[in-house]
Structures are given as structure tokens and as C-alpha cells.
Structure 1
Amino acid sequence: MGSRNIIGIGICSYSVLDMINYGSFGDIFKISKKQDEKIYAMKQMKYRGDFRDDAYIMSELYCLSRLKHRNIISLHDIVIDVIEIHIIMEYAANENLQRYLFSHKNMSHGQKYDIFAQVLHGVMYCHSMEIAHRDLTPVNILLTDDVMVKIADFGLAVKCISDAGSLLLCTDYIGTASYLPPQVLSQQPFLPKPVDVWSLGILLIFIICLEVPYKGFQDDILAQQRKESWVDFIEIKSHALDCIVPKEILCLLRECLRLDATERTRIEEIVCKWDKFKATAL
């Protein structure tokens, strides 16, 4: 693949090495900087007119320019040309969590607990900055060579409070259905932080079972959610995997996956409980 795909002002100082992934909001490339051959990842996003009118591009730029945390993908450079914007970020060699888990099925519980702990700390930092990710799936969680978590893909992320300090409700009902709570799937205006908490619960189930409990179309998922069928799902899957899910994890899942968003536990409490559990479980 030639660098002709990303020609623009300043982009010629980088070389394209490989395609990493096709994304709904942009394609991801592995690139190197010609000056020092350092490896980066680049998200290439097309736009029409003024890129500042594209909500997804602006959300990505807003979040990456403000979020500075060891578990958040870091921004290196932004290159803009007449039809594309190139967001250049740190490179995560182990790619995404979904692929990593499928290729490391014998990973120890301790390693899985540590990965989830890193995700929690990254999300807690986002929430402390009044930003909600809204698309926390294993595909959007990247891993470096030393298996450090890097939360990425902030195209659906939103500010949680207005400039005046009031809570902001979301009315765009998008995301990965299997990871979305009933408020989003039933298209009710919602606060974004509890959406992340619900997604974290589903993510934890995926990390343990390598499957999500809710599948199908939106109506199918809603029906499964109302029955709280994740409990039976975990019991069946843990039996098939010949493992016992600790009661502390089950209790935490109940707090994350409450149907009423107002009853879901805040991320700070989840982090505190998980860190205590991890310290005793290892």
C-alpha cells in the first residue's frame, strides 16, 4: 500500500507500513515517521465541507487532545488536507482486546483481572474529565507490547456537562447493541456515564466468557435484558469453561447491569471494589 493514500500537508513525513483495521468512522494504518522510524497508528477520516461540522471527528479530536492518561491512547499529531484528516496516535502492537483474548484463551484469571482494572482506571479518568466514551467494547480497547490497556476510538464520546455546569442528556441512540443498556436501545434520552458503567459490565462478562450475554436485534436484546438473562448465561458458560466466577464479580456485575440507570454504581465505587477484589484474589 503506497503513501499516495495519505498525501497531504505534513503527512509526507510518514510512511504507511500496513493496514490495521477498517472502521465505521475511519480506516486505521500502521505508519512510521521517516525522521526516526518510530511506529505510530493513524486514523484516516474523510470529510466534506468543513471538518469542524463533523461531530465524530470533532469528538475524537476534543477527547484525544484533553485526555492524558496511561490507559488512554495518546495523540501524537494531526494532519489535515482538503478531504481527509489524519489522526496520528501511539501504536498498540497487540491490537485490540477481542483479538488478544481469542489468541490467548489460556490466559490466567489474574491477567484478565489486571486488564479489566486498567480499563476501569481509564474510564474513571475519562469520567473525572466529564467525558463518557459510550462505545466501550473489546474492539476499542487496545493493548501494547507489555499488555498495557489503551482505550481508543472516541468518535462517539460526549461531554457530560455543559459549559454552564448542567448535566447533558444524549438523544443519539448509536453504538454496539450488545453493549448498550435498555435506555439507549429503547431510545429514551439518557445520561452518558451510566452507559459506560453498563458497557463495563458486559465487557467483564466477555473477558471471562469470551462471549456477550445479549445478542440479536435490538428488540431481542431488550427482551433478554429485562429477564436479566446474563445470570443464567454466566452460569452456563462458567460450567462449560470449568471455572467458578467469584461472588465478588457477580455482585459487581449486578451493580453495573441494573436496568434502572439511576441505580447503577458510579465508576469510582466500581474501581474501589475491583481493586480490593484483585488484591485478595491474586
Structure 2
Amino acid sequence: MNGKEALTPREFLRIADFFATNGYRLGPKIGEGTYSKVRIAERSNNGEFLAVKIIDKRIAKKSYVTKFLPRELEIAVLVKHPNVICTYEILHQGELVYIIMDYAERGDLLQLIQTCGGVSEKEAKRMFKEMAEAVKYLHNLGIAHRDLKCENILIMRDKRIALSDFGFSRLYLDQQHGDVTSKTYCGSRAYASPELLRGAPYDPRTNDVWSLGVILFIMICGKMPFDDRNLKLMLKKQMSEGVTVPETVKTQVSSECVRLVYQILDPNTDSRPGVVDILQSDWLN
């Protein structure tokens, strides 16, 4: 199911019949991941549009099926927050798993930025505050997202943002040992923190905060803060030179906003602010 549409007409009809018996009408494809496709689904009893993520375990790596997928399903049904995509139901049909969730009619943040070239500071402030509130909520539940990026920031009909895709997420708190650290290299390296890129055990909460900083930079600058084509060079720039906000951007946004970008994209985890600090920053208040 990755790459081109791999479903034969017979397979699609079988899936459509399965959905019909569960009260849904299956619609067109609107997105895809490594092991999944996302389609629109309509609830038969009220006409409500939802999104359904169809995961094919037959083409997925064993580590994904045994480790990451169970975590995703566990976390998906656990989270309930206005700025997190809500999962309504999980269905199973043989080797296929269906996650039925909110449908974001306005697409994702990456699509918005590619279309508009950036976001006004006023809109960036509203959206970023909602992201930070969502991450704070997840961290309070003991959940690290570990793949925060513009593609996973969805925009609902009312322009409210909602975090999505818990494929790399984990419940980071070991109740027996109190262990918070992660050792898994995951997520998108353009949004990954220096501590993750170095391959050492890292705190997934500080990594999530770094990713938020990358997203904020992209919103106000319309481009990535670091070139990820060469991993070693990117890590060296992160650690020695740091991020640079273009002078043209500094003339268009407030100094409080620019200051927050620099504070979040701090390679030193001891001085990098936490999500609560971000929410209490001058820019967001």
C-alpha cells in the first residue's frame, strides 16, 4: 500500500463492504504514510466526515508492527484535547488496521506555508500557542510525540490546529524505574534536536520542544532553520553556530518572537525552555 495505490478493485470493495457494515461509507484517498493510506469516511447515520488511517501490517517492518503500532493505538484512544486529533474508533480486519479520527478540512501546516509562503505573526502566535498547549497536555499524560513537524500539524474547519500522527510516540514514564529517557532514533531529522541526532539517550520532552522551535521558525521565516541534506554539517551548525533568523524577518516580527525562537533552538538542554516556560514567555503573554 505504500507508493502507488496497491489495492485491487476487489480488495477496495471488500474494505468498503467492511466499513458499510460498521456504519461508514469509504471515500477517496487524501494522504499516505510509509505503511498507511488516509481516506475520507462518512458516518452513515449523520453524514459526518471523518478521516480513516488504513495501516497494512503485511508491508510494515516487524519492529513497527510489534513495537510502534501498539503504542500508536494505545495513545490514540487515550488523548482527548481540543488541539489533538481525536480518535473515535479502531477497527481490525485481518492484517489491516483502521484508525477512525477527526477530519482536518483545511489540510496541514506545511500545505498552508507552501501555499502562502509563511504565516502572519498574529496567526503564528495563535497557532503556536495551541501547539504548545497540546504538547503540554501530552507531556502531563507522560506522552512524548517524537515526530512534531509541519505535516503533523493539522488545521480544522474552524482554523483550530490539532496535533496528529502518534506513530513514533511513546509513554515515556517507566512507572517502576521513573525512567524518562528515550534511546530510539525516530522522527524527521530536519525537526530533530541535536541530542537525538548525536545518538545518545535523550529526554523526549526536550526533543519535542526543539521540534516546536523548528515549526515556529518555519512559520515566521517560510523556510527550514537548518539544511538537513548533510547530517554531520547540520549537527555542527546546530551546536557551534546556532540558528539565524534573517534580518528581513526581524523587521517584520516582534523582538519577543525572535527571542523565543533563539531560546527554544538552544542546543543546551539545560537552558532550553520547557513547554510551560514557552507558554509563559513574553511573546505568548
TM-score (norm 1): 0.88
Which aligned pairs between 1:113-192 and structure 2 lie closer than 5 A? 113-164=125-176, 166-192=178-204
Q: Judging changes above 3 Å, is the alpha-carbon distance between structure 1 residues 145 and 5 closer, same or farther for their aligned structure 2 residues?
A: farther
Deviates more, 1:253-262 or 1:83-92: 253-262
Mapped contact 1:8–1:81 kept (Cα < 8 A): no
Task: Measure, in 2, the Cα distance between the counterparts of 1:210 and 1:85.
Answer: 36
Mapped contact 2:278–2:284 kept (Cα < 8 A): no
Mapped contact 1:8–1:79 kept (Cα < 8 A): no
TM superposition shift of 1:161: 0.8
Deviates more, 1:49-58 or 1:197-206: 49-58
Mapped contact 2:146–2:204 kept (Cα < 8 A): yes
Of 90, 113, 134, 2:102 maps to: 90
- Mapped pair 1:24 → 2:24: no
- Mapped pair 1:257 → 2:265: yes
Task: Provide, for residues 75-118 of structure 1, a one-character-per-residue CA deviation record: whole Å limited to 9, x for no partner.
Answer: 11111011110000011101111102232347532112111111
Which residue in 2 is equivalent to 1:248? 256
**In percent, how many aligned pairs have the same letter?**
24
Task: Measure, in 2, the Cα distance between the counterparts of 1:166 and 1:11.
Answer: 45
Long gaps (5+) in structure 1? none
- Mapped pair 1:222 → 2:230: no
TM superposition shift of 1:244: 3.0
Mapped contact 2:35–2:57 kept (Cα < 8 A): no
Q: Kindly provide the amino acid, as one letter, of the partner of residue 144 in structure 1.
A: M
Task: Measure, in 2, the Cα distance between the counterparts of 1:65 and 1:121.
Answer: 19
**Number of residues of Structure 1 aligned to a counterpart in Structure 2:** 272
Task: Measure, in 2, the Cα distance between the counterparts of 1:52 and 1:219.
Answer: 27
Mapped contact 1:25–1:56 kept (Cα < 8 A): no
**Segments of 4+ in structure 1 off by > 3 A?**
7-12, 48-53, 104-108
Task: Provide, for residues 172-224 of structure 1, a one-character-per-residue CA deviation record: whole Å limited to 9, x for no partner.
Answer: 11211111011111111111100001111111000101111111132121122
Q: Kindly provide the amino acid, as one letter, of the partner of residue 68 in structure 2.
A: Y
- Mapped pair 1:199 → 2:205: no
Long gaps (5+) in structure 2? 1-6
Mapped contact 1:159–1:168 kept (Cα < 8 A): no
Mapped contact 2:16–2:25 kept (Cα < 8 A): no
Q: Kindly provide the amino acid, as one letter, of the partner of residue 16 in structure 1.
A: L
Q: Kindly provide the amino acid, as one letter, of the partner of residue 138 in structure 1.
A: C
TM superposition shift of 1:251: 2.4
Of 273, 277, 281, 2:283 maps to: 277
TM superposition shift of 1:73: 0.3
Which residue in 1 is equivalent to 2:45? 35
Aligned to 2:279, what secondary structure does the other structure show?
helix
Deviates more, 1:199-208 or 1:209-218: 209-218
TM superposition shift of 1:44: 0.8
Mapped contact 1:25–1:155 kept (Cα < 8 A): no
Mapped contact 2:84–2:163 kept (Cα < 8 A): yes
Task: Measure, in 2, the Cα distance between the counterparts of 1:8 and 1:134.
Answer: 35
TM-score (norm 2): 0.87
